[in-house]
Structure 1
């Protein structure tokens, strides 16, 4: 008997971060411009900190995601990558059924909410 064919396993490839030369990632111009506008830089830093605090406090809590397609799905929030490019969720409840774990692309998500306790 012949051996069965191995089942292909998808590989998640995350984008690489910026390099030192500025050839990939952040634009050198935006860094220079932010030095001229310290209030803009402070506002961006405050918003970034609030967003990161939200992500850290959301882990393991129920969340609702509204997608651009008009569908609302419920899941348990897991994590988000640094950019963020994707949200990792558990127990994703969709109209087609429940997925144990999934990645939601941020480009597909219009909004999400996490109920307050």
Structure 2
């Protein structure tokens, strides 16, 4: 049996980045809008920390309100699953759910990756007396 012939090498071009603002480096200026967006958003301004803290507080209150309630999760794969929301880790990387109903069956308890969850919804219970 003879060995198969190896394919011939195909030359590949090299991408060279433009010179940076200091002349010796390559890449983008750290002050450019693109770099600011990649490195953490807008430049620091007085209302930003206050607004971020308020939004974070609202998000955490919503997570607390969802605990134990039936919820619907929309996943990146296009699948929607139902479960009872339990908890989320500090960085929202993992969500703990109970009674997860999937197309393949029901899991008593499960962890969902936060990166797979596009969104989730839940119904708030009616206030007492209504």
Same fold (TM over 0.5): yes
Q: What are the ranges of 5 or more consecutive residues in structure 2 without an aligned counterpart?
A: 1-38, 126-130
SS in structure 1 opposite 2:90? coil
Q: CA deviation at 1:116?
A: 2.3
For the aligned residues, what is the CA RMSD? 1.4
**Corresponding residue for 2:98?**
90
Normalising by structure 2, we get a TM-score of 0.62
Rg larger in structure: 2
Distance 1:38 1:99 in 2: 47
Aligned residues: 85
- Confirm or deny: 8 A CA contact 2:66 2:85 kept in the other structure: yes
**Corresponding residue for 2:66?**
58
Distance 1:38 1:57 in 2: 30
Greater helix fraction, Structure 1 or Structure 2: 1
**Corresponding residue for 2:57?**
49
**Corresponding residue for 2:11?**
none
Q: CA deviation at 1:57?
A: 1.4
Q: What are the ranges of 5 or more consecutive residues in structure 1 without an aligned counterpart?
A: 1-28
Normalising by structure 1, we get a TM-score of 0.68
Distance 1:38 1:91 in 2: 44
- Greater relative contact order structure (CA < 8 Å, 6+ sep): 1
